Structure 1
């Protein structure tokens, strides 16, 4: 059993969604940055914590959707690989004042205050109407707008917004991705990881639709210095101005929800790790080396000609037909025997269509697992390659976090750390739990984020004491040590 220590770096934060290091202009050593869901960005060096940027006034009011849990806010932050020289960094957040009624509301609900979220969606295989829903009246029926922006750290030390890269209308409050902006060391491009829009079971099948921005991993060429005044708010690639389309390529589709992407260098190639948050059954981690990103201009051209672009080399994670290695199922209680559940394939046709095309997980872990050395998971919140030697058991592995053990135990809640490795024969890998020595006492400890430094020799863990976004200052960032 691998054991680690958690050493607190900073406490009393709001929920820490992104943990990253970079080298500041005029500096030579790395500084740790922490972005919170509510919109504060802090830097930490030599035990000192400073304010880097506070965009709380730009962020939509969290918790306003009728629940105390929220997946909106500041959810992505990335520093340009040449940040030390050009001062460029990127933010992804939910924009203030954009709260809508949600995509499954009736139009009259758009005029209600506050907006009412429908119950979580569940398809019914016996009712085809629930299997072929369309997102209509998108300009009215949406939950909020997310924006992806480029900022610059000016010579006077003040950050300033430089341009908008994308404005995305999102159907529901959840599945927007988290740690959603990362630079690829392989291509130098900004990688945006965006979830399917939420509400459970991807009601509109956005993740498999080539024109939809939702449910994709997208490369953005930020070196194409495209400035658009009043960048339009869109949901589909073909609604974007041509000069923005030309900066985008799709790396992967079939994404449910995703806590970012991690790149691990082995010899002269990069292994990409992606975690996909599950529906009812399994959380899955994927790895791939080769892929062929599809330029958005090609996808649009194929759509105009009613054909499909050549998708050889495009990664497809299989959602909504597949949840990890399993056809997406609806779990019903078995009326004859209350102790048993019956599983019905929710989207049989979707599962068949994507059965051969999809990537297979590197490993999956389950929401219920009776094995003594495993755990029942709730939701994957971070996936990071670790190349350091400080924790020898983990060297060369991929470490992941789950927000909370799902073992029917009494509070307080505890998150989970675990790890897995790519096997030389590319077969499915098992995973191992990492024990921690930290005593959280009677306080809940949701593991909400996982970060690393530039050369992946350090690991950082973000922990929060509550899942109510209105409970403030319950966050702690730890360094994970041997």
Structure 2
């Protein structure tokens, strides 16, 4: 497949705004939709998935697993992914922390009601131990263009990855995992044969990439065939790692590196590590931010001038920024000058490729032309 042509430069006069589309939510941290669907599905961290249809929140949630979900620290119901064949098979997957604090990946199927899941269909796909610390749970799962399920896990928590999970190929923490969850399989999943550690003794075959601290959000761009991973930093740097979707085995460096800098100069063996494509420092007293909130590459139709731009924010600053990654370099960095609407928890993307901003005050905004 030939590389995608570089987008046209952004018009200087282009202005963006945020239009409120939902409110009254409890810690909304993800918005997504299955292909071809006009609805939006919003994940609430305490354990519910709400349905936004024709601009209104339905009273009954798609799913409520709050009784199974722990929410202390950074725990909770963290993300949702619809099966690529959802319209035919009705399956979707959730990532949450169970009552013991461990990571749980479960599969559900829709009921006869097209807006409500069948709670009896709950099937465990994967469990990952994470009982000690309540932070660095990672929290995103998404299907890639290859049809496999990708799962971003945090390093297990505690400052500086005290257990060295992110560099340990026997641990699934601090990783990007890649699973084949074809529903015809006799088991909940299998390891794809082209995963970098597939079939190797002493290494988890589920691993696709390692050396991540807390990849709270990552995104696939099917047009450029690239994967964007926004990895939250320790105390100095926030980063976005960008690689070809087909590039397995990348080591993004944590805790050897934080961004492009050595985390501990005395043990900084950096050969073979993949440096971030983009990073920013926290600055003096956190002037630049404290925790990156990764978004998506815009591929919608409403604002075609934005095609190919990656959007992101920072939890502490609440701004809306973007950049263009082309030819292996980051350029066209832009602050859209939108007043902070609060702590940006996450971005959302609907089936039409339009983007949303989800904030701690329980509101969801759509990015629109101003």
Q: Matched residues in 2 for 1:362 and 1:81: separation? A: 29
How far 1:427 sits from its partner (Å)? Answer: 3.5
- Higher fraction of helix: 1
User: Is 2:159 the counterpart of 1:200?
Assistant: yes
Match of 2:232 among 277, 283, 306: 277
How far 1:247 sits from its partner (Å)? Answer: 11
Q: Matched residues in 2 for 1:348 and 1:422: separation? A: 33
Aligned residue number for residue 130 of structure 1: none
Aligned residue number for residue 54 of structure 2: 46
TM-score by length of 2: 0.84
Q: Matched residues in 1 for 2:55 and 2:175: separation? A: 38
8 Å CA contact 2:136, 2:213 repeated in 1: yes
Aligned residue number for residue 126 of structure 2: 166
8 Å CA contact 2:169, 2:204 repeated in 1: no
Aligned residue number for residue 212 of structure 1: 171
Distance 1:391 1:480, change over 3 A: same
Q: Matched residues in 1 for 2:159 and 2:85: separation? A: 39
Note the alpha carbon deviations across 1:102-141, whole angstroms, 9 max, x for none: xxxxxxxxxxxxxxxxxxxxxxxxxxxxxxxxxxxxxxxx
- Say which SS state the counterpart of residue 39 (structure 2) adopts: strand
How far 1:378 sits from its partner (Å)? Answer: 1.2
- Say which SS state the counterpart of residue 422 (structure 1) adopts: strand
How far 1:248 sits from its partner (Å)? Answer: 5.2
User: Is 2:66 the counterpart of 1:56?
Assistant: yes
Q: Matched residues in 1 for 2:104 and 2:206: separation? A: 18
Distance 1:204 1:478, change over 3 A: same
How far 1:380 sits from its partner (Å)? Answer: 1.2
Q: Matched residues in 2 for 1:286 and 1:430: separation? A: 17
Match of 1:416 among 307, 319, 338: 319
Aligned residue number for residue 176 of structure 1: 137
How far 1:389 sits from its partner (Å)? Answer: 4.6
How far 1:226 sits from its partner (Å)? Answer: 4.1
Aligned residue number for residue 357 of structure 1: 272
How far 1:437 sits from its partner (Å)? Answer: 5.6
Aligned residue number for residue 266 of structure 2: 348
Note the alpha carbon deviations across 1:123-181, whole angstroms, 9 max, x for none: xxxxxxxxxxxxxxxxxxxxx22211111112344423342111111131111113x11
User: Is 2:225 the counterpart of 1:288?
Assistant: no
The 5 A counterparts of 1:114-263 are 144-157=101-114, 158-160=117-119, 161-170=121-130, 171-178=132-139, 180-185=140-145, 187-223=146-182, 225-227=185-187, 249-263=206-220
Aligned residue number for residue 471 of structure 1: none
Structure 2 residues not aligned, in runs of 5+: 1-11, 189-196
Q: Matched residues in 2 for 1:32 and 1:375: separation? A: 34
Match of 1:404 among 304, 316, 322: 316
Aligned residue number for residue 351 of structure 2: 454
8 Å CA contact 1:361, 1:428 repeated in 2: no
- Say which SS state the counterpart of residue 34 (structure 2) adopts: strand
How far 1:59 sits from its partner (Å)? Answer: 1.0
How far 1:34 sits from its partner (Å)? Answer: 0.2
The 5 A counterparts of 1:66-85 are 70-85=73-88
- Say which SS state the counterpart of residue 72 (structure 1) adopts: coil
Q: Matched residues in 1 for 2:33 and 2:164: separation? A: 36
Instruction: Report which of the two structures shows the higher radius of gyration computed on alpha carbons.
Output: 1
Q: Matched residues in 2 for 1:288 and 1:13: separation? A: 34
Distance 1:447 1:292, change over 3 A: closer
Structure 1 residues not aligned, in runs of 5+: 64-69, 99-143, 229-237, 294-313, 329-345, 406-414, 466-474
Note the alpha carbon deviations across 1:346-382, whole angstroms, 9 max, x for none: 2532x21xx1211121111121179xxx961110122
How far 1:35 sits from its partner (Å)? Answer: 0.5
Note the alpha carbon deviations across 1:377-425, whole angstroms, 9 max, x for none: 11012221112353355321111121112xxxxxxxxx1211111132x
Distance 1:429 1:254, change over 3 A: farther
- Say which SS state the counterpart of residue 62 (structure 2) adopts: strand
